[in-house]
Amino acid sequence: MSLKKDKFNSKDKFYMNLALNLAINRVGLTGTNPSVGCVIVKHNNIISLGQTSLNGRPHAEYNAVKNSKENLKGSTMYVSLEPCSHYGKTPPCTKLIIKNRIKKLYYAVNDVDKRSHNRCSKILSKKKIIVKKFLLVKKAKNLYKSYFFSKTKNLPYVVGKIACSKDNYIYTKSRIITNKHSRSFSHLLRYKNQAILTSSKTLNIDNSKLNCRLEGLESFSPIRFILDKNLILKKKSYLVKSAKSLKTYIFYNKKNNKKKNFLIKSGIKLIHSQLNKNNQFDLKNILKKISNIGINSLLVEGGAKLTDSFLKDKLFNEFYLFKSPVKLGKKGSIQISKIINKLPHNFDYKKKIKTFLDKDKVIYYY
């Protein structure tokens, strides 16, 4: 993409950085719409701020205009993403900008939505509104990488996560493998992604809740997707018991009407899916179905088999490997050394970051 090199001063960069940070604050919480931040400035003073609303509507520009207690005539608007110019469930934001007689618009990066892509400047310029774009574009591209991917590929942006001991075991009956800091980070990943995917086999082992348990963020738990081709999920699992309060889907293949009826009555939505020649789900096909439901970002918390399958098909966009400093030895089960060795080959090996949460180590691949 060829970028026009407009000149921006330090104040412009400050206001746009604020807009981008407002957007970052709501990543994963705006449904199928991207998270956008908006700052309105008049006479060198910030007069209003706006973010995309939870679940995606109203848009950030609308909220910023609504929040302003001053007349917006002659003001400057800074937006993290190109304002929409098409009619959808709401009128276009370009119309709102024109109506309120905003004088200048700065935005960071073009939208990839074909209905609005690179149209904003043409529409507003006809109304003599000054438009400058590509301000802090690098930060904006990083912010919208998952949105751009899901919008252009019609697949969710997939983040993988697995935790293991120092000697690469992922399960033990005697203790929790990672520390409280790593577990809190895992819940943050659940908060930041619209949905979470795992297998019934993993659930039957650990009876995970698959929710976010960070204080104050419990209501932002992800939608739950389970791969369960033979409907073997235990009836008394926490997931089944909580399905009426937290949206849950199961992909299945085997027709077990008695179990199906039980799960449906429990509040679970069932999606019948075909198997491939290896008698397994076609994961890319599963991801397409998840995308069609309206999911842009997906966290995969699988066991060894599911994680390995995603790596084999190169379906992870990012991956977090949590490693405890503790060796489990004979107390450990399910070894993942082969999976760990595959990780560098699924990502640019130079693009990895090591960090520490107390004594736990986190290796981030992207």
> DSSP states of 261-282 as a string?
HHHHHTTPEEEE--B-TTSSB-
Cα–Cα distance, 260 to 269 (Å, whole number): 10
Contact criterion met (CB below 8 Å) for 278 and 174: no
- What the block records as the tokens of 7 is 């000149």
Backbone angles phi, psi at 42, to 5 degrees: -145, 130
Contact criterion met (CB below 8 Å) for 128 and 99: no
Report the run of H or E that residue 323 belongs to, with start and end.
Answer: strand 318-323
81 closest CA partner among 33, 128, 28: 33
Please indicate whether residue 82 is annotated as part of the active site: no
Q: Which residues pair with 319 in a beta bridge?
A: 160, 365
Cα–Cα distance, 61 to 73 (Å, whole number): 15
Residue 117, number of CB atoms within 10 A of its CB:
13
What residues contact 245, with CB distance under 8 A and at least 6 apart?
Answer: none
Cα–Cα distance, 129 to 284 (Å, whole number): 44
Instruction: List active site positions.
Output: 61
